[in-house]
Structure 1
């Protein structure tokens, strides 16, 4: 792969991540899930590094995230600096600094305890990409957190 091809690939991967956050902000979960490979996974972590949950397929991603976010929520995602390593014509990895904000109506959990109404998170998306039939897809997405602020 020459330098021009590498730069073109990097831009394509940036666009995949831009489509991901756009779909999230517009709560278009089927579009978001379509950015993943058939066996693509999404694993968000807590600030302490523990796994919050693992979603093992695009269908599970599309079903789990909206339940977690809740009805009536407003989402805002920002992507910042990135590092992208193109490993081959069909494989790449990256790290994106990120920030997300969620505002949602008051609600309670199954035990009647109030859940958060606002969340402001900071961290990094760590995707692994695979090119499938000429299109870059997310094969694995890990979200690590450095800070999360909640309000009730």
Structure 2
């Protein structure tokens, strides 16, 4: 997301960027604490979320699937089998609650984003990320460690708060264990 022209950001621009950073921090906190109603409240009412690439890493240059020793692509694709994209807050919350029932624990880290304000009420960002997941003994898998990117758009609504409008995850590396 490079811009051909550069201008000095205004204080309002900097405040918007900081608000979006805080929004993403709450996203990670609510997911890791399985607070699905609050997680869903971070999304625009008509948000679209696509986590279909959750389970398989792809080479960021060639887009080829990266194998994980001991796992077939079909098995890994089955881990994220869901109707994508999720549309709307209710679908986002329902997805979280269905995943939360698996007694999975997670830790999500996001790193320095590239955020571009496209207007006073719209923005987009790329967030480098790393996450860990642990499932109870007897689950299909018991551990996951992945790295990749969130690609998101944001919208400032009438209440003057920023919300996630679209969110897509892509992985460039992932480790699974049974």
TM-score normalised per structure 2: 0.75
Instruction: Confirm or deny: 8 A CA contact 2:34 2:100 kept in the other structure.
Output: no
Q: How many residues in Structure 1 have an aligned counterpart in Structure 2?
A: 146
Give the alignment of 1:138-149 within 5 angstroms.
138-149=164-175
SS for the counterpart of 1:101 is strand
2:28 to 21, 26, 45: 21
Q: Find the aligned partners of 1:3 and 1:59 in 2 and give their Cα distance.
A: 35
Query: Larger radius of gyration, structure 1 or 2?
Result: 2
Instruction: Confirm or deny: 8 A CA contact 2:34 2:96 kept in the other structure.
Output: no
- C-alpha displacement of 1:67: 2.5
Q: Find the aligned partners of 1:57 and 1:117 in 2 and give their Cα distance.
A: 30
Aligned to 1:111: none
Please report the RMSD computed on the Cα atoms of aligned residues, expressed in angstroms: 2.0
1:98 maps onto 2:129 in alignment: yes
SS for the counterpart of 1:89 is coil
1:135 to 152, 161, 170: 161
1:74 to 105, 115, 118: 105
Aligned to 1:31: 38
- C-alpha displacement of 1:72: 2.2
Q: Find the aligned partners of 1:69 and 1:119 in 2 and give their Cα distance.
A: 16
Q: Find the aligned partners of 2:9 and 2:127 in 1 and give their Cα distance.
A: 24
Change (3 A) 1:143 1:91: same
1:57 maps onto 2:88 in alignment: yes
Aligned to 1:112: none
Q: Which runs of 5+ in 2 are unaligned?
A: 1-7, 66-76
- C-alpha displacement of 1:65: 2.9
